[in-house]
Structure 1
Amino acid sequence: MLNTSAHAAVPSARPSAGHAEGVTNDEFRAAMSRLAAGVVLVTAHEPPLSSDGPRGEDVGMTATAFLSVSLDPPLVLVSLREGSRMDDLLLEQPHWAVSVLTESQRHIAGRFAMKGRISDRLLFEDIPYTRGEVSGSPLVGGALANLECETEQRVAAGDHTLVIGRVLTASLPSPDGGPLMYFRGRYRQLG
């Protein structure tokens, strides 16, 4: 049975006066900055244009919109800006990887969050990584966890694409350290 008195105390979800279209981008961004999120590095290997051409490039991006979707089958979801290089690449390349970054890997997160300022080749310079057995994607050394994924589904969602991937391999390279968090527009450590 529905308790109507409890619902009377719930604030209205309608936009306030002056916001005919609802919440503004700035209001939404400020509200969501209060949600602490773990930081991951999403990577993929761009295949060469031809079999006799130069080796393809590694592509990477920092993400906080990443979550576990299902245990059976093992599925994860990452949100990609529509039309970004990673979004475009994962339209053609079904395999990708995720490295869950530690608090000591803040420099990696910052480097890969610098949109368009550094060439992809330089982004991976001096970062220890191995290649995934299945995806060929870079897996960051010392990360809390590394996953290799294959795209199962893509869902358009506003100005982003939600990519759902089946986890093909999982490893735990670093037994120590806490997670790198993102909160109120800054990278943070737990505690």
Structure 2
Amino acid sequence: MPHAEGVSEDEFRAAMTRLAAGVVLVTAYDAEDGPGGADVGMTATSFMSVSLDPPLVMVSVRNGSRMDELLERQTYWAASLLTEGQRQTAGRFAMKGRLSDRLLFRDLPHTRGEASDAPLVTGALATVECRTEQRVQAGDHTLVIGRVLAAGLPHAADSRPLTYFRGRYHSLTKGGD
């Protein structure tokens, strides 16, 4: 069905699949989720650097999602930039009707961030730990802008990023460097 502007949701989605994007796992710790709390995670491709001074990043989070609700009430979170070898991790956290967060994290190798207390994926290309600076409503998503409190490079420099293009995960070829 076309929007007032004339482009349908399907047309817009098809056009945007032509934009290659890096894949990150956004995570946070929910201390209020029962005894011992719970880790929460989501796969994202709408993630970017916003500013060097101060260091800011942005992630787009679907309104009403578990991550949106969590980041509305607590401000610390992290993002792990995934490698081509972490395709299964990306897929697991992106599934609709997925397993509970407790099961998703059970066998995922990770450490806990010192600045955010959020899970950081072991072997990621890079990690950033953030504190939310601003939330901006944008249609059916919220843009969460975070101040980077810590950044790490836990994986070998020659690793390749996991990318998302035309609705599928991809790896960069050797010539893509």
TM range (shorter): over 0.9
1:19 positional shift? 7.2
Task: Out of 25-34 and 115-124, give the one that drifted further.
Answer: 115-124
- In structure 2, the partner of 1:45 is 29
- Count of matched residue positions in the alignment of Structure 1 and Structure 2: 171
Please report how far the alpha carbon of residue 116 of structure 1 lies from its aligned counterpart in structure 2 after TM superposition. 2.8
AA aligned opposite 2:42: M
Higher strand share: 2
Instruction: Give unmatched runs, 5+ long, in structure 1.
Output: 1-17
Does 2:176 match 1:179?
no
In 2 relative to 1, CA 20–56 (structure 1 residues): closer, same or farther, beyond 3 Å?
closer
Q: Which amino acid aligns with 1:22?
A: G
Are residue 71 (structure 1) and residue 52 (structure 2) matched?
yes
Tell me which amino acid in the other structure corresponds to 2:30. E
Deviation at 1:177, TM superposition (A): 1.3
Letter in 2 for 1:113: A
The separation in 2 between residues aligned to 1:127 and 1:113, in whole angstroms, is 15
Ranges in structure 2 where 5+ consecutive residues have no aligned partner = none
Q: Provide the alpha-carbon RMSD of the alignment.
A: 1.3
C-alpha contact 2:92 2:98 (8 A) present in aligned 1: no
Post-superposition, which runs of at least 4 consecutive aligned residues in structure 1 deviate over 4 A? none
CA contact (8 A) 2:81 2:124 kept: yes
CA deviations 1:23-82 (Å, max 9, x no partner) are 100000000000000000000000136xxx611100000000000000000000000001
- Amino acid in structure 2 at the alignment position of 1:186: R
State the distance in 2 between where 1:167 and 1:189 align. Answer: 27
2:91 corresponds in structure 1 to 110
TM-score, normalized by length of structure 1? Answer: 0.86
Deviation at 1:20, TM superposition (A): 5.4
C-alpha distance in structure 2 between counterparts of 1:20 and 1:126, whole Å: 46
Determine which structure has more spread, i.e. the larger CA radius of gyration.
1
Alpha-carbon shift at residue 115 of structure 1 (Å): 2.6
Identify the residue that residue 104 of structure 2 maps to in structure 1.
Answer: 123
The answer as to 2:129 corresponding to 1:145 is no
1:35 to 19, 29, 38: 19
Identity of aligned residues (%): 72
Question: Taking structure 1 as reference, are residues 167 and 30 closer, same or farther at Cα in structure 2, changes over 3 Å only?
Answer: same
